[in-house]
Structure 1
Amino acid sequence: MGIRLPGILLGKRIFQSSAASSVPKGHLAVYVGESKKKRFIVPVSYLRHPSFQDLLSQAEQEFGFDHPMGGLTFPCDEEAFLDLTCSLNAL
């Protein structure tokens, strides 16, 4: 289990990022939140996990390929996303 800091989980690095510029190699930017969207940088290795794939399916059903933030947007609250990423870090 990682240590929670505001917007940062230690272990596999997950960053909350407001800058729209650089995304480190091997990572992708996603937007999370119901009303106010926050940008997170996550490792691409998450894409192979069934739980993350379920979240991708939900995003596809909700937004199709027209995401309002211009990037991949997940229709869940921030706490649920952080819980999911914490469980993926534990693997």
Structure 2
Amino acid sequence: MIVKKKIYFGISLGLLACFSHPMQAQQDPQYTNYMYNHGNINPAYAGSREGLAVFGLYRTQWVGLEGAPKTATLSVDSPLGRSGLGLGVNFTNDR
């Protein structure tokens, strides 16, 4: 019983330490053509096609203005054999 309480206390203290740090909010990147890149919207989509799928997207808004937003995305996913599982990775650079 005492060991269980110590474990719960340790977990609670660890969670409190994690959430006590200052945090910064971030704005979600703009995905105008999100319908072409299913992996960014729904990660469970990885491996749903029959082979390796590579997708890239680059978007620039307000061209010619200093500090204009730019978003680049690269997604790669593939099924893992005939297991019904898939593996994928998404890279997003938003400035």
Q: TM-score range by the shorter chain?
A: under 0.3
**Normalised TM-score (structure 1):** 0.21
**Which protein is richer in strand relative to its size?**
2
Structure (1/2) with the larger helix percentage: 1
Query: Higher Cα Rg: structure 1 or 2?
Result: 2
Q: TM-score scaled by structure 2?
A: 0.21
